[in-house]
Every structure is written in C-alpha cells, then in structure tokens.
Structure 1
Amino acid sequence: MKLVNYTSTLAVVLLIVSCATQRKLPQYLEGASNESIEKQTQFPELIIQKNDQLAIQVYSDFIPTKDPNPDLLYNQPLPGGGGAAGTGNTASNTSTASGYLVDGEGNIDFPRLGKIHAEGLTKKQLEAEIKKRLTTPVELLKNPTVLIRFQTYKIVTIGEFNSPQVLNIPTEKVNIFEAISMAGGITEWGKKDEVKVIREQDGKREMGVVDLSSATVFTSPYYYLKQNDILLIDPVKDKQEVKDETRRLSRISFATSIASTAAVIASIIITITRK
C-alpha cells in the first residue's frame, strides 16, 4: 500500500506543477460590458493611395437623339476590346477595362480629361474634381454624375493566424474582428492583446497596436481597417518553452499513470496471495 500512496502523491504533485506552468493567455474582450463598448461608431473615409485600382463611371442628363451618347466619351471601353460602344476611343496606359490605376506619381489618366491627381483624396473629393473638369470652363456634359469604387481592397494577415493569407475584401468596410475571422482566427499562441496594424498613410508607413482583450479596441483608429493594411500577430515569447513543457509533462503524466496502475495491480496481487 505504501507504493500506491507514494505513486498517488507523485501524481498529485505533477498535476499541481502542470497547472502552475500553464500561462493564462488573454481572451477577446475580457471584462467588457455593454457600457464599455456602447459608443457611437465612426467609420473613417478611405484615402486613395498609389497603386489603388479605381472603377469610375460617368453619367449625365442625356436625351437620346441621332447623336451618340456623350457619356461614352468619358468612360472606359467595354471589356473585349474596342472603344466605348463603338466610339473608337481607347483608355490610356494607366486605364484598363478593369479600372484606373493610380500610378507612382499619384495620378490617374482619364479619357479626354488627361492626368488627374488622385492620391491623398477621398472618393468624394476625386468625384468633385472630375465633375469640375467636365463642367468648367466648358460644359462637356450636362449635370454629370461621377461614381467611384475601390476595386483593389486587400488586407494582408501574417503570423499567428490559423489561415494567414491576403484577404480580398468585396466591400469598402471591414473591421479588425471580421478580417481575423476571414483568416481563420488567431491561434492559441497568438498575442491577442498586441495585434499590430501596419498602415501606409500620407506617403508614410506607421504601426499601431490593438488590444483585442479590451473594450478600447472599439475606439482605436485601427479598429476599422483600410486598404493595404497588414495585420501582424506575434506568438507569446515562451511559446516553444510552453509546448516543450506540455509535451514533457504529458509524458511524465502518462508514465505516472502506468506506474500507478501497476502499483494498484501489484497491491491487489499481494493482498490475494496473503489470503
């Protein structure tokens, strides 16, 4: 029986040591309450950057006559080649059927209007600039409407994601939780309280840190992501140490379990033989 007691004591000690070595990792929104997250949502307006691909369409007050639709002169050619609806006009080098590329100088090359500086503007500001050029100093179109959408809205996820990848966002609005979910979530070793967001803005690169374990995430300027943002999640510093320790304790626990079972069987055999 002494052997059984010794083995049981050893098992209890190992269990206590195992629990002591486990590190408590932060979880999403720990301690958050409705009062701490109930704040008015403010969605930042996206700023056009170099290498963005923009879809731009122009419409105006046009009454069909014998003359061609004048709107077609200021829109890209239809996919498949040729001019816009047979006008014979083609887009320039930085304008393709898939959109207008903002070049290295921050410009787009617009049919008949020439180069227009787009970098640093919002969609509304660029729409206003194109509309201005269509109406002054000569009214090229009557009451023109300009519609712009981002065609390249991607988020890069790197590090402790279950499925790190380049995310192509179909809409122009995504928050950090949505992006993380699209990348398969964060692994058990990821630092949820230190999610890094690398962002290019005004020609400069900056990095912000978001704490997903706190309700302050909702007031962070990095809660809503922008095009070309990079999400980087580092592992906890002792990730490998913890994994090694877990494996070691698992082996010890398994060996202890076998020893305990053997001791119990031996005790039963000794008891039977004494009878």
Structure 2
Amino acid sequence: MQENPKVKDIARADELLRTFDLKQPVYTLQPGDVLSLKVQSTTPTEYNFLSTGVSTFGATDPVLDGYTLDAEGNMVLPVIGKVNLNGLSMPEARIKVTEALKPYLTEPTVNLRLLTFRYTVIGEGGGQGQFTTYQDNINVLEAIANAGGFSPYSDRASIKLIRYENGQAKLYKFSVLDDNVLAMSNFYLKPNDTIVIDPLPAKYVQENLLANIGLTLSLIATLTVLIDRFLR
C-alpha cells in the first residue's frame, strides 16, 4: 500500500515461523467440583426426568443449580443415584454418565460442563478480579485477555502464577515476551490459579519520583519568590 515499501522488512503472512508442542493438562474431576448437566433423549419428555437440565445462562447462579460431587466424587442423580466421577476427565465423565442413563433413557446425549473453574487476575493489568470459565483448557494469555488485557505499564516479562496444590502455594514466574512460553507446562491454568502482573519500573518513576520532583521544584520556586521579596 506504500509507494516505496522496504520489501526486506515486510513479513510473509503465509510463512510459518515456528511450531510448538502444547502441553495441555487434562483436568480430572475431584470432590467439591460442581457440574452442569443437560440431557437430550428420544424418550418422551414426560418420562425424561433430566429433560430440563441445568441452565448455565439464566439469571441465577449456575453453581447453585449444578450437581456437586460429594466427598467420594459421586454425582447424585434422580432415579439413578450415585455415579462416581472421581479422577475422570470431562470426556470420560460424559461417557460414564451416558452409560448410566442408557437403562432409563433412549439414546441419551449428555452435555456436561465444569462450573467451578475459577481463576484470579491481579496487579498491573487492564482489569482485576476473580473470573469463571466454562472451558477446562484456558491458558495464561486468554485469562489475561478476559481480564482486560495488559495496561501500558504491565511488565510482560514478569508474570507470576500462584498455584495451590496439596496444601502448598507454588509460585512460578515467566515472560510472555518469550515465544517458548507457549510450550511450558504452566501455560495452561488449573482451577483456583492466581495470575499476578508486575508493573514496569516506569510506573514507580511516574507516580513517585516525577511527582516528588514536581513538588520540589514548586517549593523551590515559592521559596525563591519569598526570598527575593524579603531581600527587596
């Protein structure tokens, strides 16, 4: 689009720069997880005891309407009773619930979602707070984007990840400026992870040093005027 473009400085849009092998963790269900369940079947509605399912987009909190896995990891369903999902991935859990429904419903189709995948983003970002996602493979960049992205003073080379596992708080630090972050095992979040975005040193300079310098110069100017008037 330019009259005299520098061809050597223009990247090729169809050129593959690099390929990374992603290390997506497989989340396994555990006691306390809350799941939404929606079941479709060819069984007439009056005989389908799960036909209404659980709405995840209603005005009420979907967690309150979901199925909470008990201390042994069981989902307790009407008519069927307990279905143990402890240690299963979401695809495995869908298959097991489907098999449990087959004796009662004709050709059941199960839609199962995890409602308690929460994470927190704090620090020098576009927004802060606790967020909930209905996908179980969200990565750090997606989580930060959901929170409003980076601010002008975000230190993209200093991102901390706090993870709570087995009674311990584990701290990881990485840079999203490094392409290799895409292949790191901690690039994908786990429930209850906390992301901390550090500020750039320039923010401290602007908010503290420059403000103090301005105040100091103002005081010097005031004192100079007073001394000049006193000497006259």
- Contact 2:36-2:113 within 8 A present in 1 as well: yes
**Matched residue, 2:11:** none
8 Å contact 1:76–1:111 — kept in the other structure?
A: no
Pick one of 160, 164, 170 that aligns with 2:124.
160
> Which range is displaced more, 187-196 or 225-234?
187-196
Q: CA deviation at 1:172?
A: 4.8
- Show structure 1 runs of 5+ residues with no match: 1-32, 80-94, 259-275
Shift in alpha-carbon separation, 1:145–1:219, aligned structure 2, 3 A: same
Are 2:28 and 1:47 equivalent residues in the alignment?
A: yes
Instruction: Report sequence identity in percent.
Output: 24
Is structure 2 residue 104 aligned with structure 1 residue 140? yes
d(CA) in 1 for partners of 2:155, 2:106:
56
Superposed displacement of residue 213, structure 1: 1.9
1:201 and 1:113, CA in 2 relative to 1: closer, same or farther beyond 3 A?
Answer: farther
CA contact (8 A) 1:154 1:167 kept: yes
Choose which of 191, 211, 217 in structure 1 pairs with 2:181: 217
Aligned twin of 1:11: none
TM-aligned CA deviation for residue 222 of structure 1 = 2.5
Code of the residue aligned with 2:83 in structure 1: it is I
Give the match for residue 97 of structure 2: 130
Q: Which residue of 1 aligns with 2:227?
A: none
Residues 27-106 of structure 1 correspond to what in structure 2 (within 5 A)? 35-36=17-18, 38-41=19-22, 43-62=24-43, 64=44, 69-70=46-47, 72-74=48-50, 98-106=65-73
Deviation for aligned residue 1:49:
4.0
Alignment pair present for 1:116 and 2:46: no
Which deviates more from structure 2 when the two are superposed, residues 200-209 or residues 212-221? 200-209
Residues in 2 aligned to 1:167 and 1:76: alpha-carbon distance in whole angstroms: 27
Distance in 2 of aligned mates of 1:205 and 1:107: 27
Q: Please state if 1:245 is matched with 2:209.
A: yes
Q: Partner of 2:157: helix, strand, or coil?
A: coil
**Alpha-carbon offset, residue 233 of structure 1:** 2.8
C-alpha distance in 2, partners of 1:203/1:132?
35
Q: Distance in 1 between matches of 2:63 and 2:120?
A: 25
Contact 1:156–1:166 (CA<8 Å) still a contact in 2?
Answer: yes
What amino acid maps onto 2:99 in structure 1? K
TM-score (norm 1): 0.56
CA contact (8 A) 1:195 1:211 kept: yes
1:254 Cα deviation (Å)? 8.3
Number of matched pairs: 201
* Distance apart, 1:142 and its partner CA: 3.8
- CA-CA distance at 1:50 after TM superposition: 4.0
CA contact (8 A) 1:76 1:97 kept: no
* Alpha-carbon distance in structure 1 between the residues aligned to 2:201 and 2:71: 39
Write the mapping of 1:150-189 to structure 2, written as runs, cut at 5 A.
Answer: 150-169=114-133, 171-187=135-151
- Tell me, what secondary structure is at the counterpart of 1:167? strand
Task: Report which of the two structures shows the higher radius of gyration computed on alpha carbons.
Answer: 1
Distance in 1 between the 2:54 and 2:196 partners?
Answer: 39
Q: Any gaps of 5 or more consecutive residues in structure 2?
A: 1-14, 56-61, 222-232
Which residue does 1:92 correspond to in 2? Answer: none
Specify which structure has the bigger relative contact order, considering alpha-carbon pairs within 8 angstroms and separated by 6 or more residues: 1
Given the superposition, is the C-alpha separation of residues 239 and 104 from structure 1 closer, same or farther in structure 2, using an over 3 Å criterion? farther
8 Å Cα contact 2:159/2:195 also seen in 1: yes
What is the distance in 2 between the residues matched to 1:241 and 1:78? 51
Q: What is the CA distance between 1:218 and its match in structure 2?
A: 0.7
